[in-house]
Amino acid sequence: MRRLVFLVFILGLLVPSLFAQGRRGGAAGGGTPQAQTIYVLKPARVFDGESAQPHEGWVVVVRGQRIEAAGPAASVTIPPGAEAIDLPGMTVLPGLIEAHSHVLLHPYNETSWNDQVEHETLALRIARATVSLKATLDAGFTTIRDLGTEGAGYSDVGLKLAVNQGIIPGPRMLVVTRAIVATGTYGPKGFPAEWNMPQGAEEADGDSLIRVVRDQAGKGADWIKVYGDYRAGPRGETTPTFSQEEMKLIVETAKSIGRSVAVHSSTPEGMRRAILAGAETIEHGDGGTPEIFKLMAEHGVALCPTLAAGHATSQYSGWRPGQDPEPQGIQRKRASFKAALDAGVTIASGSDVGVFTHGDNARELELMVAYGMTPADALKSATSVDAKVLHMETQVGKVTQGLQADLIAVDGDPTKDISVLHKVKLVMKAGAVVKRDRE
């Protein structure tokens, strides 16, 4: 009996220290070495990710990796030993979410997509991606859904691991690996027919779609990304690629192993097939009509409008915003975005960054506002709405007790002036301060 009491005593000493170690070990998931530090953030106001108005005079308490409390300063108990972070004039908001990135691409005005895919070595692309991930995090984007490596294989899976293991700084990542295209529809093009050029995504058709969806998932894809239309017409015009049956096969196969499907599509027919097949997000949607957006809203399919990508490529072709008339593509984008808003489609903030500079992701929110959204709605889109669309709402996207402490502070009030998103002074990921600008 005495021996038993002794054993229990020893266990009592050991177990808490084991747990403490477990917590420290677990902290590597957020890349934070000081997991149990307590902070109290004291900004001018807090935008919680949900409410239309920011809360003046709120404070946020962070313990370890999580938000312990958020509320009016008078009603929140500050734990002893908490380190105060004063953020005068600033707004604290949830870490921003980018629902459509390509960290393995860099701006097309530096190097064209074709040249990146054809001529850049994998090591070069990965090395650059590590820098792009840091720029993304420093810009206040603490979660990204990266929608395709565009010829860089499965390297997104390794980059995600490197971030999770604390080897490189970066946002939380959802990845898709190579993405899927219908045979003969994608690029790079223009080579002799005898040459089988590696493509920017994995080709599959008919029954082979089952194998490729499962293979990409097995190799680490969190989501399945497919190109539902592309410039595959005889004159290079954009046409649907996968048939309705193929699209259904993709979604059924993905869903049965717990993966959601994102479909690149800009034609009404490509979008219609994706919606009816059960895709969860449609990327771009440039040619969406009021009828198609109504169908999207009815089926609960979210739109990632990628406004910033078109805005950037138009400028690469010589357009000078504010000086030249708006190109047709931009006018069409404005109109389809408005039609999506009018139809009540869920707007997921996703920019297609990579086409333009990593770290400039906030351009998407500025354009959402310029094209008709309120700043608060654009902010919700990049926080709580994106979190829900990405099935991460129990982890991130709001300033509320119990969620991961992914928090940023910007200088000013972004619900009044969305451009202050470019003035990120503090970035915290999973309770660790990863950027603090004290100027």
Residue 352 vs 360, nearer CB to Zn ion: 352
Binding segment for Zn ion (CB under 5 A), chosen from 60-68, 167-175, 215-223, 349-357, is: 349-357
Which letter, b or e, does each residue of 246-277 get, where b requires 16 or more Cβ atoms within 10 Å of its Cβ?
bbbbbbebbeeeebbbbbbbbbbebbbbbbeb
Residue 352 vs 406, nearer CB to Zn ion: 352
Extended strands (E) in 266-354: 281-284, 302-304
Residue 94 vs 200, nearer CB to Zn ion: 200
Residue 352 vs 366, nearer CB to Zn ion: 352
Least Cβ distance, residue 352 to Zn ion (angstroms): 4
Half-sphere exposure for 64 (CA within 13 Å, toward CB): 15
Cα separation of 130 and 121, whole Å?
15
Residue 229 vs 352, nearer CB to Zn ion: 352
Binding segment for Zn ion (CB under 5 A), chosen from 255-263, 323-331, 345-353, 366-374, is: 345-353
Centre a 10 Å sphere on the Cβ of residue 106 and count the other Cβ atoms it contains.
21
Cα separation of 248 and 235, whole Å?
28
Window 2-31: residues binding Zn ion (CB under 5 A): none
Residue 45 vs 106, nearer CB to Zn ion: 106
352 scored as a contact of Zn ion (CB under 5 A): yes
Least Cβ distance, residue 18 to Zn ion (angstroms): 45
What single DSSP character describes residue 51? S
Question: Pairing relation of β-strands 58-63 and 38-46?
Answer: antiparallel
222 scored as a contact of Zn ion (CB under 5 A): no
Least Cβ distance, residue 100 to Zn ion (angstroms): 6
Using DSSP, how many helices (H) and how many strands (E) does the chain show? 13, 19
Residue 73: what residue type? A
Least Cβ distance, residue 85 to Zn ion (angstroms): 36
x-or-dash pattern for Zn ion, window 294-333, by CB under 5 A?
Answer: ----------------------------------------
Can you give the binding site for Zn ion, defined by CB under 5 A? 352
